[in-house]
Amino acid sequence: MPTRTSLGLTAAAALLFALPGPAHAAAPAPVYAPSTAIADPGVLRENGDFYVYSTGSGVRVSRGDEAVGPWSNTGPALDLDPMPGWMANGDVWAPDVWRTGAGFVMYFSAVAKDFSGQRCIGVAVNTTADPSGKFQPAAQPLVCPGGRHGGGDRVPGRPIADAGVIDPSPFIDSDGRRFLLYKTQQTPSTLRMVRLSDSGVQWFGNDSGELLRRDGIIENPVLVQRGNQFVLFASRYGYDNCSYATVWLRSTDRWHFGGATEHSLLTTAGTGICGPGGSDVTTSLDGGWRIFLHGWVCGTGTRACTPSQIDNGADRRRSLYAAILNWGADNATPVVGAFL
Distances (CA, A) of 206 to 11, 115, 189, 254, 306: 45, 24, 21, 15, 45
239 CB neighbour count, 10 Å cutoff: 19
Angle at 87 between CA 82 and CA 90, to 5 degrees: 70
147: three-class secondary structure by DSSP: helix
Q: In what order do the strands lie in the sheet with 91-100?
A: 56-57, 91-100, 103-111, 119-126, 136-137
334: exposed, middle or buried (C-beta count within 10 Å: 0-12, 13-18, 19+)? buried
Would you put residue 275 in left (φ > 0), alpha (ψ -120 to 50) or beta?
left
Give helix then strand counts, H and E, for the chain: 3, 21
Dihedrals phi, psi of 269, to nearest 5 degrees:
-60, -35
Query: Strand, coil or helix: what is 168?
Result: strand
- Return the active site residues: 40, 219
Other residues' Cβ atoms within 10 Å of the Cβ of residue 157 = 13
Listed residue (57, 195, 169, 185) closest to 120, CA to CA: 185
Alpha-carbon distances, residue 226 vs 27, 220, 262, 325 (angstroms):
30, 20, 17, 14
Q: Are 261 and 254 in contact (CB under 8 A)?
A: no
CA 240 to chain centre: 15
Q: Are 35 and 256 in contact (CB under 8 A)?
A: no
- Pure H helices in the chain: 11-18, 268-271, 307-311
